[in-house]
């Protein structure tokens, strides 16, 4: 048995108007019945019969082709079919067409010209629980149609449920989620300003869709249009009265929730009761507005704010009342109000003062800063907006006594500020004096001490003799050599105690003269950190100068990261830990150690790895101590390793802690890419790794 429930004409179902496809069109001689569907020509939407979940009822609806369980529209939500033998047929002349999920009935001409004025009927005028791009929520004064959403009863029953999402025009247009049965308001968007509603998330910050508010003589409505074709969004009122903004990325098949309203307690209508204000970053969230006290201290103390706040002192009414400004709040609901769109703010204040029940005033049009809006009686649903969310200021009326106490408090605060400033200033002066005296005293002491101790070395480091080292390294045999650099060779050795050591033997004609040697010894001896290599001793004998380090069985980082197999063995987790370790070592050198040190030669081969692959920064031959007050300094001789040097150092010799940070950045890219900065090559360009990364970033 076929149930005919729509007397329609020539049916067409399409996304981009196209008459070539018969799949999106029904002619008067055709029909669709259970199992048959119409698909929009853009393949986005499907119209057909469905039976949700465990329900035995059948409905005609529209869903997304990619996600068939997401129904966006249901025709007969309150008149389900009791079997699956429904059919949609067309009688008479005319067209029915679907665009963007919109099912349209009209004559052929109106559809060809896509003239929505003369469509006989369209599904967008009768939304169910889903708000699609191009739909309207609001009022059309010419046709008398009000478009709003009504939730489903439950997940598998599309019949009209408890909650509506609609626009209310009282005062200024606002969106409300309310319970149909009890008329209780769940959420209020606050007034819109043309692009958004004050109490809603700052949608402009999310470029995936563009909301807009239209207000003219014929109609007032809220709508949105897609902004990025790749992202589809819709708004849905749940059976429980929450609205979700859902998004589907680039034809994926899983919808995700972008935001939900109401979301936080302050979103719930009148959460803090009459004359209360909800502040998201305070604990507790609710406070009474200035000049008000909780109606019941006891209830307020158990966080029951429902009875709100009452005035401490009644308004004076005759004279002396004043106003305080509340910045960045959602306007109270327009319950009892008066407005004038052209009045100036000063006139507005006068009007408010003239009427004893006026509680607050503000500009009518916040964006233009014009007009007058006045609230009488209790102020309901005031909340603080998030930072930068809006600039809605309202002026709250207070009795003379309250204004006076505010002034007194202000004066006190100013006095306190002046007092604090003077205390701070004198403290600083005293500190400077003490510091000058201390410097003078220290300088004096140094001179005295210098005279007493003349040239005594103050390095407290074990001194090894040459014979011990020679025997430990098998007389510097080539088999023991584990590395060679500009300054000499590195040998592995084993002391008689069994301790394994690495010996850095400086070549006699190396660039690292006695100065660099002493520099390195003194520096490392004073540094103690798990991410810095630790010095076990040194050896100075005859022409030989050697540094003795703990031995690092896993050699240096370059050994791993530039080798595909080894770096794969190491794994990302380990590489990440190594990066963190280097950063910690560097932080210690720059900031946390007693000496502040710039390493100046940070590179993969100077990062040694212990048995657990903990990184240790080594080679302090070029390191420099800098004073706390030294921001940047300059050197005539530029030393370091090309590829790791910052441009200002390589070119001008300028260096600071930032030079190390630059080298660290290069190292980081090398670790992540497994490519050496300088040996990087690419068929498309001649840049090194840094240039390549910058180019990618720009793209």
Ligand X SMILES: *[C@@H]1O[C@H](CO)[C@@H](O)[C@H](O)[C@H]1NC(C)=O
Structure tokens at 187: 């959420």
Question: Per-residue DSSP letters for 282-335?
Answer: SSSSEEEPTTEEES-HHHHHTT--TT-EEESS----SS--EEEEE-SEEPPP-S
Return the number of the residue (181 or 611) whose C-beta is nearest ligand X.
181
Taking CB under 6 A as the criterion, the residue among 92, 181, 455, 456 binding ligand X is 181
338 binds ligand X (CB under 6 A): yes
Distance, in Å, from the CA atom of 154 to the CA atom of 571, rounded to the nearest integer, reads 49
Q: Do residues 343 and 372 make contact, with C-beta atoms less than 8 angstroms apart?
A: yes
Return the number of the residue (347 or 652) whose C-beta is nearest ligand X.
347
Candidates 183-191, 210-218, 336-344, 609-617 — which segment interacts with ligand X by CB under 6 A? Answer: 336-344
Distance, in Å, from the CA atom of 186 to the CA atom of 199, rounded to the nearest integer, reads 13
Q: Kindly state the smallest distance separating residue 409's Cβ from ligand X, in Å.
A: 28
307 binds ligand X (CB under 6 A): yes
Candidates 256-264, 340-348, 555-563, 602-610 — which segment interacts with ligand X by CB under 6 A? Answer: 340-348
Contact letters for ligand X, residues 628-667 (x by CB under 6 A): ----------------------------------------
Candidates 304-312, 417-425, 601-609, 691-699 — which segment interacts with ligand X by CB under 6 A? Answer: 304-312
Is 504 labeled as ligand-binding? yes
Cβ–Cβ contacts within 10 Å for residue 440, how many?
10
- CA–CA distances in Å: residue 191 to residues 139, 172, 352, 390, 438: 16, 6, 21, 11, 64
Return the number of the residue (240 or 477) whose C-beta is nearest ligand X.
240
Helix H or strand E segment including 506: strand 500-506
- CA–CA distances in Å: residue 679 to residues 73, 103, 287, 672, 676: 60, 62, 64, 15, 5
DSSP-assigned beta bridge partners for residue 132: 234
Distance, in Å, from the CA atom of 461 to the CA atom of 382, rounded to the nearest integer, reads 70
Query: Which residues inside 46-85 make contact with ligand X, applying CB under 6 A?
Result: 82
Return the number of the residue (25 or 233) whose C-beta is nearest ligand X.
233
Taking CB under 6 A as the criterion, the residue among 343, 352, 521, 617 binding ligand X is 343
Query: How large is the C-alpha radius of gyration of the chain?
Result: 39
Taking CB under 6 A as the criterion, the residue among 18, 355, 420, 528 binding ligand X is 355
304 binds ligand X (CB under 6 A): yes
357 binds ligand X (CB under 6 A): yes
Q: Kindly state the smallest distance separating residue 357's Cβ from ligand X, in Å.
A: 5
Tell me how many residues contact ligand X (CB under 6 A): 23
Q: Do residues 259 and 201 make contact, with C-beta atoms less than 8 angstroms apart?
A: yes
299 binds ligand X (CB under 6 A): yes
Helix H or strand E segment including 419: helix 400-453
162 binds ligand X (CB under 6 A): yes
Q: Which of 333, 365, 381, 601 is catalytic?
A: 601
Return the number of the residue (355 or 477) whose C-beta is nearest ligand X.
355
- CA–CA distances in Å: residue 121 to residues 3, 40, 180: 21, 18, 26
Query: Which residues inside 224-253 make contact with ligand X, applying CB under 6 A?
Result: 230, 239-240, 250
Candidates 219-227, 338-346, 405-413, 643-651 — which segment interacts with ligand X by CB under 6 A? Answer: 338-346
Candidates 17-25, 113-121, 301-309, 648-656 — which segment interacts with ligand X by CB under 6 A? Answer: 301-309
376 binds ligand X (CB under 6 A): yes
134 binds ligand X (CB under 6 A): no
- The distance between the two most distant Cα atoms of the chain, rounded to a whole number of Å, is 117
96 binds ligand X (CB under 6 A): no
Q: Do residues 98 and 61 make contact, with C-beta atoms less than 8 angstroms apart?
A: no
Query: Which residues inside 548-567 make contact with ligand X, applying CB under 6 A?
Result: none
Candidates 113-121, 337-345, 362-370, 481-489 — which segment interacts with ligand X by CB under 6 A? Answer: 337-345
Return the number of the residue (236 or 675) whose C-beta is nearest ligand X.
236
Distance, in Å, from the CA atom of 332 to the CA atom of 329, rounded to the nearest integer, reads 9
Tell me the pairing of strands 382-384 and 276-278: parallel
DSSP state of 223: E
601 is catalytic: yes
342 binds ligand X (CB under 6 A): yes
Return the number of the residue (355 or 401) whose C-beta is nearest ligand X.
355
Query: Which residues inside 385-404 make contact with ligand X, applying CB under 6 A?
Result: 387-388
Q: Kindly state the smallest distance separating residue 399's Cβ from ligand X, in Å.
A: 17
Distance, in Å, from the CA atom of 244 to the CA atom of 254, rounded to the nearest integer, reads 15
- Distant-in-sequence, close-in-space partners of 167: CB < 8 Å, separation ≥ 6: 137, 138, 139, 146, 148, 173, 174, 175, 176, 220, 221, 222
Question: Residues annotated as binding site for ATP?
Answer: 504
Which residues belong to the active site? Answer: 601
Residues of this chain that bind ligand X (CB under 6 A): 82, 154, 162, 181, 230, 239-240, 250, 299, 304, 306-307, 336, 338, 340, 342-343, 347, 355, 357, 376, 387-388
Could you list the residues known to form a binding site, using ranges. 504
């Amino acid at each position: 048995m076929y149930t005919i429930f729509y007397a329609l004409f020539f049916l067409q179902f399409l996304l981009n108007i196209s008459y070539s496809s018969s799949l999106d069109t029904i002619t008067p001689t055709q029909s669709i019945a259970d199992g048959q569907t119409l698909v929009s020509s853009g393949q986005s939407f499907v119209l057909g019969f469905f039976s949700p979940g465990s329900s035995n009822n059948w409905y005609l609806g529209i869903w997304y082709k990619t996600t068939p369980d997401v129904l966006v529209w249901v025709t007969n939500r309150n008149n389900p079919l009791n079997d699956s033998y429904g059919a949609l047929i067309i009688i008479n002349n005319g067209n029915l067409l679907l665009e963007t999920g919109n099912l349209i009935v009209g004559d052929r001409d109106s559809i060809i010209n896509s003239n929505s004025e003369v469509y006989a009927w369209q599904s967008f005028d009768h939304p169910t629980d889903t708000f699609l791009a191009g739909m309207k929520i609001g009022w059309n004064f010419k046709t008398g149609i009000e478009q709003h959403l009504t939730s489903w009863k439950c997940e598998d029953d599309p019949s009209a449920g408890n909650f509506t999402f609609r626009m209310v025009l009282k005062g200024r247009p606002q969106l409300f989620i309310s319970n149909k049965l009890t008329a209780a308001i769940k959420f209020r968007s606050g007034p819109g300003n043309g692009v958004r509603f004050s109490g809603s998330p700052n949608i402009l910050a999310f470029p995936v869709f563009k909301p807009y508010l239209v207000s003219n003589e014929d109609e007032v409505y809220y709508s949105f249009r897609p902004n990025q074709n790749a992202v589809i969004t819709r708004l849905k009122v749940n059976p429980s009265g929450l609205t979700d903004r859902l998004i589907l990325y680039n034809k994926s098949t899983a919808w995700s929730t972008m935001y939900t309203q109401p979301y936080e307690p302050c979103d719930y209508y009148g959460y803090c009761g009459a004359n209360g204000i909800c502040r998201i970053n305070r604990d507790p969230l609710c406070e009474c507005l200035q000049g008000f006290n909780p109606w019941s201290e006891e209830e307020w103390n158990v966080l029951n704010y429902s009875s709100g706040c009452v005035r401490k002192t009644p308004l004076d009414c005759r004279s002396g009342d004043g106003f305080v400004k509340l910045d960045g709040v959602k306007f109270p609901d327009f319950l009892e109000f008066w407005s004038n769109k052209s009045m100036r703010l000063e006139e507005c204040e006068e009007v408010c003062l003239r009427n004893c029940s006026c509680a607050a005033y503000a500009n009518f049009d916040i964006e233009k800063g014009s007009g007058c809006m006045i609230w009488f009686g209790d102020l309901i649903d005031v909340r603080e907006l998030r930072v930068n969310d809006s600039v809605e200021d309202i002026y709250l009326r207070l009795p003379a006594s309250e204004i006076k106490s505010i002034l007194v408090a202000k004066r006190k605060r100013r006095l306190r500020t002046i007092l604090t400033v003077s205390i701070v200033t004198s403290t600083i002066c005293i500190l400077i004096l003490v510091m000058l005296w201390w410097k003078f005293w220290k300088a004096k002491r140094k001179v005295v001490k210098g005279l007493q101790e003349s040239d005594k070395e103050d390095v407290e480091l074990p001194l090894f003799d040459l014979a011990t080292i020679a025997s430990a390294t098998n007389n510097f045999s080539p088999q023991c050599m584990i590395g060679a650099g500009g300054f000499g060779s590195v040998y592995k050795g084993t002391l008689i105690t069994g301790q394994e050591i690495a010996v850095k033997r400086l070549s006699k004609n190396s660039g690292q003269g006695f100065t660099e040697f002493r520099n390195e010894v003194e520096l490392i001896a004073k540094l103690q950190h798990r991410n810095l290599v630790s010095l076990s001793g040194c050896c100075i004998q005859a022409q030989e100068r050697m540094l003795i380090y703990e031995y690092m069985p896993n050699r240096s980082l370059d050994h791993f990261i530039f080798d595909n197999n080894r770096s794969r063995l190491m794994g990302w987790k380990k590489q990440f830990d190594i990066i963190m370790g280097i950063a910690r070592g560097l932080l210690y050198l720059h900031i946390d150690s007693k000496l502040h040190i710039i390493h100046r030669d940070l590179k993969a081969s100077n990062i040694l790895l212990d048995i657990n692959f903990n990184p240790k920064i080594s080679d302090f031959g070029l390191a420099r101590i800098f004073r706390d007050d030294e921001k940047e300094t300059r050197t005539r001789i530029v030393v370091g390793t090309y590829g790791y040097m910052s441009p200002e150092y390589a070119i001008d010799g300028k260096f600071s802690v930032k030079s190390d940070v630059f080298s660290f950045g290069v190292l980081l890219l090398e670790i992540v890419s497994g490519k050496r900065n300088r040996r990087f090559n690419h068929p498309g360009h001649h840049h090194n790794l840094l240039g390549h990364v910058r180019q990618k970033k720009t793209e």
